[in-house]
């Protein structure tokens, strides 16, 4: 690929486009690992925040995401280009990240305000990037799975960086303050702006349609409600809601259980090493499994995802120490790797072209919004009556039940619809 940068013409442009897509996914992955992987640790580091309130605040962050994502999706679809909206989002994230880094929060008021501000934008880059990339795949030679795997690679590198930073700075004497991990979020976001220069442009198709027709509201294909009437998308979103309720409940408390004295007390450095392996497994599934899993019916993939989620939770429950827990990487890779590999292209294939960014945003609402809202809140209440470890057994059982229910529902769908 480096050699092609010296070639003029369309081939060079395609190489630059592929490199920009890969770079942005990698940086997005690193930024969002910090946003999702260290928030609970950051909150639990405040003495006034109880286990239950960790879950409730994470749920609030997810609720803010759920409210904000459709708004950003609609803005992108009605903007001149989705690229401009993505750059504006990066600038917002970079500015708001300092709300975690600079203040010393001594009470819930400022802490919650900071969480609301940051999580109104922090998960927006991925669905916007998905919408832009899937729309421009014909301009590059790489498969979507390979390009998307750079996101997992960036997250894995970031997770490993936490381990290295902890080893170098603390020298085994303890953990550095979790709030400083958000510096990685800041720099990853700032660096993401540079590759946007070479990212192919994706027009806001609703904006184009608006220019062509002054009475846009009379065109039902452009209404947000039209997306909601799409039966295949609705089934996918309901599936996503239940899936991410379970994974949200697990993910909220996994970092606390694994890294802090409230659980296995492995430390934030070891947590980073652990997740670098797990996320590398995601990348492996997206790259190595692209052709194999790409031929499977989407409903078969979604059933496999749910089974992987249940097995992942069982490994956490039965692992006696942080080292045995590394077995979880196999199931973690199939859970998220398959979702990242297949869902974004599938959504683009079933929603109107004018609403593609909105369709991706709706999935993000389930993945980063409503599902984690409910899951985190449920986990918070469970932690009041059971040990943190029991959360994983209960969600494993729930995942297997959900798998059986949706397997029965998916069997009724024609293969051509998937």
Average pLDDT, whole number, for the chain? Answer: 81
CB count within 10 Å of CB 349 equals 13
Among 12-16, 52-56, 107-111, which is the least confidently predicted range?
Answer: 12-16
pLDDT at 315: 93
* Banded pLDDT at 176 (limits 50, 70, 90): low
pLDDT reading at 220 higher than 70: no
pLDDT reading at 373 higher than 50: yes
pLDDT reading at 404 higher than 80: yes
DSSP-derived secondary structure for 140-181: SSS-HHHHHHHHHHHHHHHHHHHHHHHHHHHTTS----GGGG
| Residues ≥6 apart with Cβ < 8 Å to 165 | 176, 269, 272
Cα–Cα distance, 86 to 335 (Å, whole number): 27
- Give the tens place of pLDDT for each residue, 314-341: 999 999 888 999 999 999 999 998 988 8
pLDDT at 3: 43
pLDDT at 139: 81
Cβ pair 93, 31 in contact under 8 A: yes
56 three-class SS: helix
- Give the tens place of pLDDT for each residue, 250-268: 887 888 888 877 778 888 7
Residue 203 dihedral angles phi and psi, to the nearest 5°: -70, 150
pLDDT reading at 207 higher than 60: no
- The percent of residues in the chain predicted with pLDDT above 90, rounded, is 23
Return the C-alpha torsion angle 207, 225, 357, 346, nearest 10.
-130
Mean pLDDT computed over 28-35: 89
Mean pLDDT computed over 286-298: 79
Rg of the chain taking only CA atoms, in angstroms: 21
Among 31-40, 202-211, 403-412, which is the least confidently predicted range?
Answer: 202-211
- Give the tens place of pLDDT for each residue, 58-105: 888 888 888 888 888 888 888 888 899 999 999 999 999 999 888 788
pLDDT reading at 407 higher than 50: yes
Give first-to-last CA distance, the chain, whole Å: 34
pLDDT at 170: 57
pLDDT at 50: 80
Among 25-39, 116-130, 165-179, 181-195, which is the least confidently predicted range?
Answer: 165-179
pLDDT reading at 381 higher than 90: no
* Domains observed in the chain: 12-196+226-412 (1.20.1250.20)
Mean pLDDT computed over 178-198: 89
* Banded pLDDT at 116 (limits 50, 70, 90): very high
pLDDT reading at 218 higher than 60: no
pLDDT reading at 9 higher than 70: no
């Amino acid at each position: 690929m480096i050699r092609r940068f010296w070639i003029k013409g369309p081939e060079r442009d395609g190489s630059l486009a592929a490199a920009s897509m890969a770079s942005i996914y990698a940086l997005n992955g690193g930024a969002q690992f910090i946003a999702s992987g260290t928030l609970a640790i950051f909150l639990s580091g405040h003495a006034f925040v109880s286990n239950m309130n960790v879950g409730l605040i994470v749920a609030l962050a997810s609720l803010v995401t759920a409210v904000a994502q459709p708004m950003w999706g609609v803005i992108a679809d009605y903007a001149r280009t989705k690229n401009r909206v993505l750059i504006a989002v990066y600038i917002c994230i970079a500015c708001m990240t300092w709300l975690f880094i600079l203040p010393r929060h001594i009470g819930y008021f400022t802490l919650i305000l900071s969480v609301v501000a940051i999580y109104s934008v922090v998960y927006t880059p991925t669905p916007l990037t998905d919408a832009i990339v899937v729309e421009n795949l014909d301009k590059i030679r790489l498969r979507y799975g390979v390009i998307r795997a750079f996101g997992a690679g960036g997250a894995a590198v970031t997770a490993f960086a936490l381990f290295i930073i902890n080893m170098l700075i603390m020298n085994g004497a303890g953990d550095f303050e979790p709030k400083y991990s958000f510096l990685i979020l800041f720099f990853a976001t700032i660096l993401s702006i540079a590759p946007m220069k070479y990212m192919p442009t994706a027009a806001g198709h609703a904006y184009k349609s608006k220019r062509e027709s002054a009475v846009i509201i009379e065109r039902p294909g452009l209404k947000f409600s039209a997306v909601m009437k799409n039966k295949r998308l609705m089934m996918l979103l309901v599936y996503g809601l239940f899936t991410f309720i379970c994974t949200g409940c697990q993910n909220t408390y996994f970092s606390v259980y694994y890294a802090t004295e409230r659980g296995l007390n492995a430390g934030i450095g070891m947590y980073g090493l652990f997740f670098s392996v797990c996320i590398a497994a995601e990348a492996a599934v997206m790259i190595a499994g692209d052709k194999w899993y790409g031929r499977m019916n989407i409903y078969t993939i979604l059933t496999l995802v749910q089974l992987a989620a249940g097995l992942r939770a069982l490994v956490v429950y039965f692992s006696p120490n942080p080292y045995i827990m590394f077995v979880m990487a196999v199931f973690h890779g199939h859970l998220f790797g398959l979702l990242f590999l297949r869902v974004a292209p599938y959504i683009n294939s079933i929603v109107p072209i004018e609403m593609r960014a909105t369709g991706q945003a709706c999935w993000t609402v389930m993945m980063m919004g409503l599902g984690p809202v409910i899951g985190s809140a449920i986990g918070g209440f469970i932690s009041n009556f059971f040990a943190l470890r029991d959360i994983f057994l209960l969600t494993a059982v729930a995942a297997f039940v959900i798998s059986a229910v949706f397997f029965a529902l998916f069997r009724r769908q024609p293969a051509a619809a998937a």
